[in-house]
Amino acid sequence: MERNALCWCGSGKKYKKCHMQIEEKIQLHKANGEIVPPRKILKTPYQIEMIKKSAALNTAVLDAVAEKICIGMSTAEIDRIVYDYTTKHGGIPAPLNYQGFPKSVCTSLNNEVCHGIPDENIILQEGDIVNVDVSTILDGFYSDASRMFTMGKISERAQRIIKVTEECVQRGLAAAKPWGHLGDIADAINSHAQANGYSVVEDIGGHGIGLDFHEEPFVSYVTPKGSEMLLVPGMMFTIEPMINEGSPDFFVDEDNDWTVYTIDDGLSAQIEYMVLVKEDGIEVLTK
The per-residue pLDDT for 164 is: 98
CA pair distance 259, 101, nearest whole angstrom: 10
Helix (H, G, I), strand (E, B) or coil at 145: strand
pLDDT grade for 233, boundaries at 50, 70 and 90: very high
Helix locations, the chain, DSSP H: 20-31, 45-68, 75-88, 156-175, 182-195
The per-residue pLDDT for 101 is: 97
The per-residue pLDDT for 229 is: 98
Averaged over 110-129, what is the pLDDT? 98
Can you state the angle between helices 45-68 and 75-88, rounded to 10 degrees? 140
The per-residue pLDDT for 92 is: 98
The per-residue pLDDT for 244 is: 98
Tens of pLDDT, residue by residue over 129-169, are 999 999 999 999 999 999 999 999 999 999 999 999 999 99
| Mean of the per-residue pLDDT values of the chain | 97
Closest CA to 190 of 207, 171, 209, 174: 171
User: Is the pLDDT reported for residue 1 higher than 90?
Assistant: no
Averaged over 123-127, what is the pLDDT? 98
Tens of pLDDT, residue by residue over 217-226, are 999 999 999 9
